[in-house]
Amino acid sequence: AQRVTQPEKLLSVFKGAPVELKCNYSYSGSPELFWYVQYSRQRLQLLLRHISRESIKGFTADLNKGETSFHLKKPFAQEEDSAMYYCALSGPGTYKYIFGTGTRLKVLA
């Protein structure tokens, strides 16, 4: 079955602490992996995608095909990182997304 799993509904960390939001996926083939973020009162927006292999707002994510994981990491959390984070995949050429249930990140002062 095609599925994206985010095991944590809520993750609370203190400012300056490292953050890791977990994402595992199940897909027969080679999907494209994404992290989307929704800040308070804003619409869902792209944070980063695996093919770009870039760091956005200090966040990085490495695709591990062996473990079928795409965890999101940041070495030092900031209060402005508090948001809802969704891991998602898209099948090659389909443009259809499968989303995880999301993890709410709270960064405490």
Partner 1 sequence: SAVISQKPSRDICQRGTSLTIQCQVDSQVTMMFWYRQQPGQSLTLIATANQGSEATYESGFVIDKFPISRPNLTFSTLTVSNMSPEDSSIYLCSVVGGVGTEAFFGQGTRLTVV
Residue 54 CB, shortest distance to partner 1, in Å, is 11
Token representation of residue 40: 């308070």
DSSP three-state, residue 28: coil
DSSP H helical ranges for the chain: none
Is residue 4 at the binding interface for partner 1, with CB under 8 A as the rule?
A: yes
- Among 57, 44, 53, residue whose Cα is nearest residue 100: 44
Q: What are phi and psi of 73, to 5 degrees?
A: -135, 150
Is residue 90 at the binding interface for partner 1, with CB under 8 A as the rule?
A: yes
Considering only 74, 86, 103, 105, the residue that binds partner 1 (CB under 8 A) is 86
Site string for partner 1, 30-59 (x = CB under 8 A): --x-x-x------xxxx--x-x--------
Question: Which positions touch partner 1 (CB under 8 A)?
Answer: 4, 32, 34, 36, 43-46, 49, 51, 86, 90, 95-102
